[in-house]
């Protein structure tokens, strides 16, 4: 590539709408431009990086026996009616009509299309197992696109779907994808972690998310360095310690106007963890009281799993009005009528607690769980915090921020049953196919790589995903001999199979270096004063900042050496 011809316009200043490093640097470095909120153009350098990432994905998917297909972005309503997701997916799916008024959706994911394809074309156990994947555009009408590629409305995703005869086959497929993902993220040069995850709208039972550790990540993950336990905080467990507050007799106390945990806590001079927070939820139209220690949050994903339905919400103003027996700010589990009571595990046997009394301006103190009231069930409902005890060992959990770059699911029969995807087994019995699905956010991964690999001057691409291997920077390019020398080195490196960018512009050294920093190509060969004197050039390593003077031949060998195995 000759830089004078390369369409990769750089910017001195960050665009006003960018606030995180990957967004700023990908735009400043000429890798991409914004078209609309959450929608981007990819310029030649950006495309080169994307293709590198896609190549890694293809190689590792193919290695596990997956086969690439191409599925349509535009999908008919009927298919989504079959799975029931036409209504369930909601506003997040972009929808449109054709000229005849038929409904279509822009695919946010492809379970329906792939299940229909496989359903119509496999018949026998001999056709299984099967693993199909594709890499292409996906659309999700995010409520609030932000952070550049991290939360876009149109993005590139690799999605794969496995089809097996039974549960064991499905688990094997799942593990094979887990292995493929591990290699993919390793090769992309990111520090990542696989965590137990919720399955959300996709459905299924077992799921892992692959997280790239980064402060700007929108996910929180809890992990244990001792035993390796790791889970998304929205469902991470932690070992409960029994809670025993100050021993005192059960008593009604006057707490005028004290409704919140903070108010009651400071008024009664009792630490929040000795309060029982009683949250009123409306679950499928019925009131349910959810109890957690006063210093804890209830996790709604945990709650959804416990309730077995996504149809619930915290009481709103109208709900309080509809249920006047619940005294807002003073509800408590003791003597609570008309609501099921779900308590967090930590409350089992708790003593010396404070809770609402169901009477205006009064709380109860000296409450003992189990004696003064009995919850319907004890469940894991409270959210984990940094430093909580690991649920599997004695160590403590750490909570860190991460970017979700991939997620894998054991779907089971969810789609095959609703869509009739079956096969005939050896005995002639018709059976539903066990499915799994596996996604990687390719463009999001590109941004995640930048989040982990940059400095204040620009990107520092890991070797295997860099837009090129070597950046040749001849200074004083207007000099004929310099130009010829650079040209010679350029040709030679190209002939060695390297990907090379030659800065053949008559620009000042400062401009060339600044652009090179933004582009972030791993190895840089500078032809300057030293070259004039001794014919040697300077090899600069973008990541380490290392600079070594050597002959062109040595430089070539050095780089070839660094590239072995890539």
Partner RNA sequence: CGGGGUGUAGCGCAGUUUGGUCAGCGCGCAUGCUUUGGGAGCAUGAGGUCGGCGGUUCGAAUCCGCCCACCCCGACCA
Per CB under 7 A, residues contacting RNA are: 10-17, 19, 28, 36-38, 92, 142-147, 198-202, 218-219, 234, 404, 407, 457, 475-476, 478, 506-511, 513-518, 526-531, 537-538, 540, 547
State whether residue 318 is helix, strand or coil: helix
- Tell me whether residue 176 or residue 207 sits nearer to RNA (CB atom): 207
What does the alpha-carbon distance between residue 503 and residue 535 come to, in Å, rounded to a whole number? Answer: 18
- Tell me whether residue 28 or residue 240 sits nearer to RNA (CB atom): 28
The residues facing 354 across adjacent strands are 275
Cβ at position 350, least distance to RNA in Å: 28
| 44-63 helix and 442-452 helix, angle to the nearest 10 degrees | 110
Q: What DSSP designation does 97 have?
A: E
Token pair in block for residue 551: 């002959």
Cβ at position 79, least distance to RNA in Å: 19
Cβ at position 21, least distance to RNA in Å: 13
Element (H, E) at 115: helix 111-121
Token pair in block for residue 483: 């130009």
What does the alpha-carbon distance between residue 132 and residue 502 come to, in Å, rounded to a whole number? Answer: 40
- Tell me whether residue 22 or residue 199 sits nearer to RNA (CB atom): 199
- Tell me whether residue 183 or residue 482 sits nearer to RNA (CB atom): 482
Cβ at position 131, least distance to RNA in Å: 21
Element (H, E) at 300: helix 300-307
Cβ at position 214, least distance to RNA in Å: 13
Give the per-residue SS3 of 215-278.
Answer: CCCCEEEEECCCCCCEEECCCCCCCCCCCECCCCCCEEEECCCCCCHHHHHHHHCCCHHHEEEE
- Tell me whether residue 331 or residue 516 sits nearer to RNA (CB atom): 516
Cβ at position 220, least distance to RNA in Å: 8
Cβ at position 319, least distance to RNA in Å: 14
Closest CA to 129 of 171, 158, 68: 171
- Tell me whether residue 146 or residue 483 sits nearer to RNA (CB atom): 146
- Tell me whether residue 129 or residue 203 sits nearer to RNA (CB atom): 203
Q: What are phi and psi of 332, to 5 degrees?
A: -155, 160
Give the per-residue SS3 of 427-479.
Answer: CCCEEECEEEEEEEEHHHHHHHHHHHCEECCEECCCHHHCCCCEEEEECCCCC
Cβ at position 18, least distance to RNA in Å: 8
Q: How many residues does the chain have?
A: 566
Cβ at position 512, least distance to RNA in Å: 8
Reading phi first (left if > 0) and then psi (alpha if -120 to 50, else beta), residue 335 is in: left
Closest CA to 128 of 328, 561, 426: 426
- Tell me whether residue 464 or residue 515 sits nearer to RNA (CB atom): 515
- Tell me whether residue 137 or residue 511 sits nearer to RNA (CB atom): 511
């Amino acid at each position: 590539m000759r830089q004078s011809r390369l369409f990769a316009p750089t910017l001195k200043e960050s665009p006003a709408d960018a606030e995180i490093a990957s967004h700023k640097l990908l735009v400043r470095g000429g890798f991409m431009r914004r078209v609309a909120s959450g929608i981007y153009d990819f310029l030649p350098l950006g495309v080169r990086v994307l293709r590198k990432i896609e190549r890694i994905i293809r190689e590792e998917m193919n290695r596990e026996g997956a086969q690439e297909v191409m599925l349509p972005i535009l999908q008919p309503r009927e298919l989504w009616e079959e799975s029931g997701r036409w209504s369930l997916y909601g506003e997040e799916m972009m929808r449109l009509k054709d000229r005849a008024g038929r409904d279509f959706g822009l695919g946010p994911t492809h379970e329906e299309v792939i299940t229909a394809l496989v359903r119509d074309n496999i018949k026998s156990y001999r056709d299984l197992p099967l693993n199909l994947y594709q890499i292409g555009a996906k659309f999700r009408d995010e409520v609030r696109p932000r952070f550049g590629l991290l939360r876009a409305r149109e993005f590139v995703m690799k999605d794969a779907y496995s089809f097996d005869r039974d549960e064991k086959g499905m688990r094997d497929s799942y593990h094979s994808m887990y292995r493929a993902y591990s290699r993919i993220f390793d090769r992309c040069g990111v520090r990542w972690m696989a965590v137990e995850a919720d399955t959300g709208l996709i459905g299924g039972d077992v799921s892992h998310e692959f997280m790239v550790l980064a402060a700007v990540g929108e996910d929180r993950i809890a992990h244990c360095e001792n035993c390796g336990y790791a889970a998304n905080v929205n469902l991470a467990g932690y070992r409960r310690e029994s809670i025993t507050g100050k021993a005192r007799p059960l008593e009604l106390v006057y707490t005028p106007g004290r409704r919140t945990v903070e108010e009651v806590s400071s008024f009664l001079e009792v630490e929040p963890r000795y309060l029982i927070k009683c949250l009123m939820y409306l679950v499928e139209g019925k009131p349910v009281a959810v109890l957690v220690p006063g210093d804890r949050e209830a996790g709604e994903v945990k709650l959804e799993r416990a309730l077995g339905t996504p149809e619930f919400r915290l009481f709103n103003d109208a709900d309080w009005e509809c249920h006047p027996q619940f005294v807002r700010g003073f509800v408590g589990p003791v003597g609570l009528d008309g609501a099921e009571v779900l308590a967090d595990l930590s409350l089992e046997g708790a003593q010396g607690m404070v809770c609402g009394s169901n009477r205006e301006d009064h709380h109860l103190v000296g409450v003992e769980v189990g004696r003064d009231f009995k919850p319907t069930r004890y469940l894991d409902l409270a959210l984990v915090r940094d430093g909580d005890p690991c649920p599997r060992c004695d160590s403590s959990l750490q909570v860190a921020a991460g970017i979700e770059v991939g997620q894998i699911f054991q779907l089971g029969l969810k789609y095959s049953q609703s869509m009739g995807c079956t096969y005939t087994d050896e005995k002639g019995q018709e059976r539903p196919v066990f499915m799994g699905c596996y996604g990687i956010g390719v463009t999001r991964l590109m941004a995640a790589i930048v989040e982990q690999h940059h400095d204040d001057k620009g990107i520092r691409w890991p070797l295997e995903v860099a837009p090129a291997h070597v950046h040749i920077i001849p200074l004083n390019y207007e000099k004929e001999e310099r130009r010829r020398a650079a040209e010679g080195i350029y040709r030679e490196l190209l002939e060695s199979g390297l990907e090379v960018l030659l800065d053949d512009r008559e620009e000042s050294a400062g401009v060339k270096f600044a652009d090179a920093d933004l582009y972030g190509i791993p190895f840089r060969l500078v032809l300057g004063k030293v070259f004039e004197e001794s014919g040697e050039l300077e090899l600069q390593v973008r990541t380490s900042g290392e600079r070594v003077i050597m002959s062109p031949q040595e430089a070539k060998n050095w780089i070839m050496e660094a590239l072995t195995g890539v």
